[in-house]
C-alpha cells in the first residue's frame, strides 16, 4: 500500500486526466496467448500481477490530447495531439499492434499510430459523445458506446452490429467470453461471444450476445446491484462449463460478487451471490462502527482471491483477501486509523519543521517592529486532547484577532450584511435545499451591484435552477416582478454564453418567455390608462389646492407718501396715526378670535373695512 510512483502532467490544472490504459507488456503478444489485460483500465494495485514489463501508460485529458508516459523511465515519452478537440473519455490499446484507440465528447473515434504519434484513422462513432471502447479478443472488432452500443469492423470501419444500449452514458464495456459456448459451428472470432456493459446512474449491468443475424438487439441477461457501478473486474470464461466471475464495486462503497454460466437468455435480473462491506471496529471512544468505502477490486491470477482497495482515494489501503463466497453477506472489520497512522510515520516528508526555542522571537518582514512568537509544534496526542473542559470560556473571535494583531474593525463587515460571495453560497444552498427562507433573504436584495456580483460568482450548474425559481416567483406574485427582473437581467447578461450552449434552452425558458409576452401585451393599454388617470388626478389635486389656499389681506398695513404740502402732510399724519392705531387694535382682536379669521379676511377683501370711505380716498 505504498505509493510507488507519482506523475503530475505540467498542464494538470487546465487539462485534467480523464482516463488511462496500460500498453500491452513487451509489445507484440504470442498468437496462442489471449490476454485480457489491455482491455480495461489497470489500477496501481494490479501492476504487480501482470508481467513486470508493463511500462507505457496512455493518459487521456480533458482538452483532447493523449499523453504516453513511461513508468520505467519516469518521464513523458510522447504526446498525441490533433485527434480530438474535446474531452477524451476512454483509451484502449490493441493487443497485437502498437495502435491505440480513443473516443471523445466530440463524437469521434480515433485510431493512433503510437510509433509516429500520428492519427491513423478518424471516424464518427455516434450522434452524441462516445464514452467507452473495448477491443474484441481476436483484435478484429471494436465495441464503442455512447448510449447505444455499436460493434465496428476495424478493417472497413463499418458498423457490424447495433445493440440497444442504456438510457444513460455507458461507463464500462468488457468481453466476458473468448470462445462461443456452442463449439459445433466454426468460430469467426466474434459470433457467439458475450460482452458486459454498465452505465452511469444505472443499477443494472447488461450482458449482450453477438448473434450471426441482426435480428435481436436487446440484452440477454442483466445483473442488479445496489448503486451505480464505478469499477468492474471479471474472470474471462475460457471453457464451456466455466462460470464467469464478476466483481462490481458500487458508488455506495459495497462490492458485489456474481458467478454465472452464460448460456443464453435470462429474463429476471440476477442478484449477487455475495456482498462484501468493510467497517471500522468502533471500539475506541466512538462506539458506532463506520462504513469504509471499497474503491476498487480485482481478481488475482488464481481467480479465487481478491485484491481490495479501500479507504480514501488519497491514501488507499490495498489488501489481498481470500473469502468464503458461500455466505451471502460478508462484513470485514478493518481499523483504518491505525494503518494510516503507521503509514504516515514511515512515509518521507519534504516539509521540515524547524526546532525553535520557546524564548526566541522571530521578526516578520513587512511591518517594522512587528514580532510574533513561534510556538513549537505540538505532538499529535496533545492535539487530540484539545477539547474544552466544562466551565471554561473559549476566547471570542475578537480576542483571537487582537492576539493576531489584526484590526478587528476592518474585519467586520459593514452593517453586518453578508458579503456577495456568501450571498452566492447562500443562493446555491437555498436552491439545492429549496429553502424558502434563504431564497427570500437573497432574492429580496435591491442593490444592483450585490445582485450582479452574486450572479457572476454563482456556479454554472445553479443557473438553470435559479431561472426556474425566478419564473415560479414571477408566476406566483405579480408584485415581485420589479425585484425578479433585476435578477433576470443579471443572469441573462452574465451567463448568456453558457445559456446559449444548452441544447434544451427553448423549453427551459418557454414559461418565462410566455410570462413576459403576456405582461408586455397589456403594457400599452396600461400606460395609456396610466396617462389619463395621471391627468385626472393632477387636475383634481390642483382644484383642491385652489380651494384650500387662505387668501391674503390686500389692504396695506402702512403707507408712506412724499410730503407735497405742509397742510396736507399734517392732516395725513393725523389720519395715518389714527389708522395705524385702529389696525393694531384689529390685529389683537384677530388673534383672539382666530375662529372668525376667514370671515374677517372675506370682509376686508370685499372692502368692508372699519375705515371711513373719505379717509380711504384721501389715502389713495
pLDDT band of residue 434 (cuts 50, 70, 90) is confident
Q: pTM of the entire structure?
A: 0.53
Residue 19 has a pLDDT of 93
Position 606 pLDDT exceeds 90: no
Q: Is residue 489 part of a domain?
A: yes
Which 3-state string (H, E, C) describes 50-95?
Answer: CCCCCCEEEEEECCCCEEEEECCCCEEEEEECCCCCCCEEEEEECC
Q: Is residue 463 part of a domain?
A: yes
- Average pLDDT, integer, range 210-239: 87
- Nearest-angstrom CA–CA distance, 118 and 92: 16
Q: Is residue 124 part of a domain?
A: no
- Nearest-angstrom CA–CA distance, 69 and 55: 8
Q: Which residue has the cell 437468455?
A: 265
DSSP state, 149?
E
Position 413 pLDDT exceeds 50: no
- Average pLDDT, integer, range 241-270: 89
Q: Is residue 503 part of a domain?
A: yes
Position 374 pLDDT exceeds 60: no
Q: Is residue 187 part of a domain?
A: no
Helix (H, G, I), strand (E, B) or coil at 477: coil
Of the segments 34-38, 143-147, 509-513, 615-619, which one has the largest average pLDDT value?
A: 143-147
Q: Worst-scoring range by mean pLDDT, 77-91, 272-286, 547-561, 572-586?
A: 572-586
- Nearest-angstrom CA–CA distance, 176 and 81: 33
Beta bridge partners of 361: none
Range of the domain at 456: 423-520
Comparing 555 with 363, the larger pLDDT belongs to 555
pLDDT band of residue 362 (cuts 50, 70, 90) is low
- Nearest-angstrom CA–CA distance, 528 and 186: 87
- Please, what is the angle between helix 505-521 and helix 523-548, to 10°? 40
Of the segments 175-184, 529-538, 585-594, which one has the largest average pLDDT value?
A: 529-538
Distances (CA, A) of 198 to 18, 148, 227, 476: 18, 12, 11, 43
- Nearest-angstrom CA–CA distance, 133 and 499: 31
- Nearest-angstrom CA–CA distance, 47 and 316: 15
- Average pLDDT, integer, range 429-433: 89
Q: Worst-scoring range by mean pLDDT, 298-302, 329-333, 519-523?
A: 519-523
- Nearest-angstrom CA–CA distance, 487 and 490: 5
Are 356 and 372 spatial neighbours (Cβ–Cβ below 8 Å)? no
pLDDT band of residue 20 (cuts 50, 70, 90) is very high
Q: Which three cell numbers stand for residue 310?
A: 479501500
Are 23 and 92 spatial neighbours (Cβ–Cβ below 8 Å)? no
The per-residue pLDDT for range 48-106, each reduced to its tens digit, is 444 456 789 999 999 999 999 998 888 899 999 988 999 999 999 998 888 999 999 99
Are 422 and 430 spatial neighbours (Cβ–Cβ below 8 Å)? no
Position 407 pLDDT exceeds 70: no
The sheet with strand 141-145 has its strands ordered as 132-135, 141-145, 149-153, 158-163
Position 337 pLDDT exceeds 80: no
Residue 40 has a pLDDT of 44
- Average pLDDT, integer, range 340-346: 54
DSSP state, 160?
E
- Give the number of domains in the chain: 1
pLDDT band of residue 172 (cuts 50, 70, 90) is very high
- Average pLDDT, integer, range 247-276: 90
- Average pLDDT, integer, range 276-289: 79
Q: Is residue 180 part of a domain?
A: no
pLDDT band of residue 242 (cuts 50, 70, 90) is confident
Residue 229 has a pLDDT of 93
Are 61 and 104 spatial neighbours (Cβ–Cβ below 8 Å)? no
Comparing 144 with 521, the larger pLDDT belongs to 144
- Average pLDDT, integer, range 330-348: 68
Residue 31 has a pLDDT of 36
- Nearest-angstrom CA–CA distance, 445 and 451: 7
Helix (H, G, I), strand (E, B) or coil at 84: coil
- Average pLDDT, integer, range 513-527: 85
- Average pLDDT, integer, range 251-277: 89
Position 571 pLDDT exceeds 90: no
Position 423 pLDDT exceeds 90: no
The per-residue pLDDT for range 484-506, each reduced to its tens digit, is 888 999 999 999 888 888 888 88
Residue 384 has a pLDDT of 45
Q: Which three cell numbers stand for residue 178?
A: 473468448
pLDDT band of residue 483 (cuts 50, 70, 90) is confident
Q: Is residue 611 part of a domain?
A: no
Using only the alpha carbons of the chain, give its radius of gyration. 43
Residue 349 has a pLDDT of 57
Q: Does residue 138 come out as left (phi exceeding 0), alpha (psi in the -120 to 50 range) or beta?
A: alpha
Which 3-state string (H, E, C) describes 304-360?
Answer: CCEEEEEECCCCEEEEEECCCCCCCEEEEECCHHHHHHHHHHHCCCCCCCCCCCCCC
Comparing 337 with 428, the larger pLDDT belongs to 428
Cβ atoms < 10 Å from Cβ of 222: 18
Mean per-residue pLDDT over the chain, rounded: 78
- For residue 505, give the H/E element and its range: helix 505-521
2 contact partners, CB below 8 Å, separation of at least 6: 343, 347
- Nearest-angstrom CA–CA distance, 255 and 24: 28
The DSSP secondary structure of 374-426, one letter per residue, reads: PPPPPPHHHHHT-PPPTT--PPPHHHHHHHTT--HHHHSPGGGPPPHHHHHHH
- For residue 579, give the H/E element and its range: helix 566-592
pLDDT band of residue 566 (cuts 50, 70, 90) is low
Residue 505 has a pLDDT of 85
Which 3-state string (H, E, C) describes 525-578?
Answer: HHHHHHHHHHHHHHHHHHHHHHHHCCCCCCCCCCCCCCCCCHHHHHHHHHHHHH
pLDDT over 90 percentage in the chain: 29
Position 28 pLDDT exceeds 50: no
Residue 327 has a pLDDT of 84
Comparing 524 with 346, the larger pLDDT belongs to 524
Q: Is residue 401 part of a domain?
A: no
- Nearest-angstrom CA–CA distance, 132 and 299: 22
Candidates 262, 260, 295, 261; CA nearest to 274 is 260
Distances (CA, A) of 359 to 130, 352, 355, 372: 65, 21, 12, 11
- Nearest-angstrom CA–CA distance, 291 and 240: 39
pLDDT band of residue 249 (cuts 50, 70, 90) is very high
Helix (H, G, I), strand (E, B) or coil at 180: coil
Q: Which three cell numbers stand for residue 15?
A: 487539462
Amino acid at each position: 500500500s505504498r505509493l510507488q510512483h507519482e506523475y503530475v502532467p505540467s498542464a494538470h490544472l487546465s487539462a485534467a486526466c480523464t482516463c488511462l490504459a496500460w500498453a500491452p507488456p513487451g509489445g507484440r503478444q504470442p498468437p496462442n496467448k489471449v490476454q485480457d489485460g489491455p482491455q480495461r483500465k489497470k489500477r496501481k494495485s494490479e501492476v504487480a500481477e501482470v508481467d513486470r514489463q508493463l511500462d507505457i501508460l496512455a493518459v487521456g485529458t480533458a482538452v483532447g490530447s493523449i499523453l504516453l508516459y513511461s513508468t520505467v523511465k519516469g518521464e513523458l515519452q510522447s504526446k498525441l495531439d490533433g485527434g480530438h478537440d474535446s474531452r477524451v473519455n476512454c483509451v484502449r490499446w490493441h493487443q497485437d499492434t502498437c495502435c491505440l484507440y480513443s473516443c471523445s465528447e466530440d463524437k469521434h473515434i480515433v485510431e493512433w499510430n503510437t510509433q509516429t504519434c500520428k492519427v491513423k484513422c478518424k471516424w464518427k462513432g455516434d450522434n452524441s459523445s462516445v464514452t467507452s471502447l473495448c477491443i474484441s479478443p481476436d483484435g478484429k472488432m471494436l465495441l464503442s458506446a455512447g448510449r447505444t452500443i455499436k460493434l465496428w469492423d476495424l478493417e472497413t470501419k463499418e458498423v457490424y452490429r447495433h445493440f440497444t444500449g442504456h438510457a444513460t452514458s455507458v461507463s464500462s464495456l468488457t468481453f466476458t467470453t473468448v470462445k462461443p459456448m456452442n463449439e459445433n459451428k466454426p468460430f469467426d472470432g466474434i459470433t457467439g461471444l458475450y460482452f458486459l456493459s454498465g452505465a452511469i446512474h444505472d443499477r443494472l449491468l447488461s450482458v449482450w450476445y453477438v448473434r450471426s443475424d441482426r435480428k435481436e438487439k436487446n440484452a440477454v441477461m442483466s445483473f442488479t446491484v445496489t448503486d451505480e457501478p464505478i469499477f468492474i473486474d471479471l474472470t474471462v470464461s475460457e471453457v464451456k462449463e466455466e462460470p464467469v466471475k464478476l466483481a462490481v464495486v458500487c458508488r455506495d462503497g459495497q462490492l458485489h460478487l456474481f458467478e454465472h454460466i452464460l448460456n443464453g437468455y435470462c429474463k429476471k435480473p440476477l442478484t449477487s451471490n455475495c456482498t462484501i462491506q468493510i467497517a471500522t471496529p468502533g471500539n475506541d471512544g466512538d462506539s458506532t462502527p463506520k462504513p469504509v468505502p471499497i474503491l476498487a477490486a480485482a481478481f488475482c491470477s488464481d481467480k479465487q482471491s481478491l485484491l481490495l482497495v479501500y479507504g480514501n482515494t488519497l491514501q488507499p489501503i490495498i489488501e489481498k483477501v481470500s473469502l468464503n463466497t458461500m455466505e451471502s453477506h460478508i462484513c470485514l472489520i478493518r481499523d483504518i486509523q491505525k494503518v494510516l497512522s503507521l503509514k504516515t510515520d514511515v512515509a518521507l516528508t519534504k516539509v521540515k519543521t524547524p526546532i525553535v526555542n520557546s524564548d526566541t522571537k522571530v521578526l516578520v518582514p513587512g511591518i517594522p517592529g512587528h514580532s510574533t512568537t513561534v510556538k513549537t509544534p505540538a505532538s499529535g496526542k496533545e492535539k487530540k486532547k484539545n477539547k474544552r473542559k466544562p466551565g471554561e470560556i473559549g476566547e471570542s473571535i475578537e480576542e483571537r484577532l487582537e492576539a493576531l494583531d489584526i484590526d478587528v474593525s476592518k474585519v467586520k463587515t459593514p452593517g453586518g450584511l453578508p458579503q456577495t460571495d456568501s450571498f452566492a453560497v447562500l443562493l446555491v444552498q437555498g436552491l439545492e435545499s429549496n429553502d424558502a427562507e434563504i431564497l427570500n433573504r437573497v432574492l429580496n436584495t435591491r442593490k444592483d451591484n450585490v445582485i450582479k456580483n452574486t450572479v457572476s460568482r454563482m456556479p454554472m450548474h445553479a443557473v438553470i435552477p435559479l431561472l426556474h425559481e425566478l419564473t415560479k416567483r414571477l408566476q406566483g406574485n405579480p408584485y415581485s416582478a420589479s425585484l425578479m427582473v433585476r435578477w433576470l437581467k443579471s443572469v441573462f447578461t452574465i451567463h448568456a454564453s453558457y445559456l446559449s450552449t444548452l441544447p434544451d434552452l427553448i423549453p427551459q425558458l418557454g414559461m418565462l418567455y410566455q410570462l413576459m409576452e403576456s405582461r408586455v401585451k397589456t403594457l400599452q393599454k396600461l400606460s395609456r390608462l396610466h396617462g389619463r388617470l395621471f391627468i385626472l388626478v393632477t387636475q383634481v389635486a390642483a382644484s383642491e389646492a385652489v380651494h384650500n389656499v387662505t387668501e391674503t389681506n390686500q389692504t396695506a398695513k402702512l403707507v408712506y407718501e412724499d410730503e407735497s404740502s405742509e397742510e396736507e402732510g399734517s392732516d395725513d399724519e393725523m389720519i395715518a396715526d389714527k389708522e395705524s392705531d385702529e389696525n393694531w387694535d384689529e390685529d389683537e382682536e384677530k388673534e383672539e378670535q382666530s375662529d372668525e379669521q376667514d370671515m374677517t379676511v372675506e370682509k376686508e377683501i370685499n372692502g368692508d373695512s372699519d375705515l371711513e370711505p373719505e379717509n380711504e380716498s384721501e389715502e389713495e
